[in-house]
Structure 1
Amino acid sequence: MPTVKEYNAYGEDLERILQLRTSPIAVKMLEKEEDIPEGAVRPKKYRGYHLAQCQVFAMSRRSGEMIAMLKEDNWCWAPLMGYGLVEDPQDEFVNSHAYFPCFKVGKYIGIVTAPLKTTPYEPDMVLVYSNTAQLRNLIGAVKSHDKALVSSVFDPIDSCVYSVVPVIENNEYRVTIPDPGEYERAMAGEDEMIFSIPKDKLPGLMETLRETDRRGGSYRRQTYIMTPDFPRPPFYTDLFKKWGLDTEE
């Protein structure tokens, strides 16, 4: 497994190669209070206020803060249920809206997040907030390394749950749409998507992204072109010959 310093290097390289506007987030679920890293902010205990989990994601990726969220710190119902911090209230509203996956109640006491490039702990997974072009490069790296495609289901709400719970439980990549709360209260951009990376898959993904960057094919080297009869890789020419189509300008 990677060391903490290697995780930090992954965070730096993700930002550099993809030219991300905000830092990838190191996410770790907490099983007991002793697991809270030294220096982590406890919102209610240390600052006297509550936060929604999407706001904490924003504070970690934008301001570089390491924040531990336990049950008493939360100001939104979905992560309380999704992360298994409370019992099912058997509430009519919840029953009609909560279709999301949940951790087993009591398995965890909370969650801690920090920028991947500065995290002092080994994460369970990583969240990357990106635009669609950056997301395309991430998915392309998955396809290249794993010889597989990324599958997701989409819900317009509860992104704090969908981007975390199934990723850890199933060890799978996931694409999530930031929900209205992220947009209204947590500074998520209208052009942003969330890409979730399980820790076990991060080394292979980074190997592919770094190699693609060395070969000059990464996001930061891609530019807009509108040139007719543009230069093409040789396999294009081979295919067009087989189809009897033009291969020269």
Structure 2
Amino acid sequence: MDVKEINKYGQELVDCLKLKTSPVAVKLIPKGGEIPEGMKEVDEAMRHCQLVDRVRRTGEEFYTLIDDQMCKGGAGAMGLGEMPPKVASGEFYFNKLKQFSTQGAARRTLERVPKLPPHSTEAILYSPLEKATFIPDVVVVIGNPKQIMLLTQAAMYKTGGRVEASFAGKQSLCSDGVVNVYKEGKIGVTVGCSGSRTYTKISEEEMIMGIPVELLADVATGLKEICPK
């Protein structure tokens, strides 16, 4: 699969699903890896969820380093630096956000958040899929339930099966939408988290799907077959 095919699949997703914003190509550059020559660094620090939301709306392409990622919990999950101790332990969610009844409940949830080894990622690239100049690891699609349904049906078109969703409403676009998909090589569906629902323009009517690039061709092909005429 080359970049031209990636772009073609991106445009097909936009056209068939009638997406109002672009699918977002995300690539994790391993530690010591090289950032593509000529690609610009993002111009301000933002959260990963904000970066995805910005790219899908503006059509920009850029890379980020650890200092460009405002949410260190999300950055740590994606291997940029380390997960802050109070986030990793659940203390932040229990004591500050009051989202759990006990510290133990918070800890158990955060222990199961998908994450990459600390400092294993050098940089993260973002681009609208139909314009990307690189081959992504994961494609993040933000759409309404019907659009996510069609993507699910498209993914099942070739071999059948089921999409297995795993989420807790915590670290959604970073851990669920990117890291878990990257690690497992399987499509993931998630519903957002308090951060992504607060700091982005993702609407109450939208949800998120992460697609590993290895499955993108099959999803795009299936979508063309079932695409509503």
Asked whether the two chains share a fold, i.e. TM above 0.5, the reply is yes
Q: Which residue of 2 aligns with 1:163?
A: 177
TM-superposed CA distance for 1:181, in Å, is 2.0
TM-score by length of 2: 0.85
Q: Which residue of 1 aligns with 2:120?
A: 107
Aligned length: 209
Of structures 1 and 2, the one scoring higher in RCO (CA 8 A, sep 6+) is: 2
Percentage of matched positions with identical amino acids: 31
AA partner of residue 187 (structure 1): K
TM-superposed CA distance for 1:180, in Å, is 2.2
Q: Which residue of 1 aligns with 2:95?
A: none
Matched, 1:56 2:51: yes
Matched, 1:194 2:208: yes
After TM superposition, the structure 1 = structure 2 runs for residues 26-175 of structure 1, keeping only pairs within 5 Å, are: 26-32=25-31, 35-43=34-42, 47=43, 49-91=44-86, 93-96=87-90, 97=106, 98-99=110-111, 100-159=113-172, 160-175=174-189
The structure number with the bigger radius of gyration is 1
For 1:13 and 1:193, the matched residues in 2 are separated by 20
Q: Using the TM superposition, name which of 12-21 and 178-187 deviates more.
A: 178-187
TM-score by length of 1: 0.79
Q: Which residue of 1 aligns with 2:222?
A: 208
Aligned alpha-carbon RMSD (Å): 1.7
Return closer, same or farther for 1:131/1:151 CA change in 2, 3 Å cut-off.
same
SS, match of residue 64 in structure 2: strand
AA partner of residue 53 (structure 1): H
TM-superposed CA distance for 1:39, in Å, is 4.2
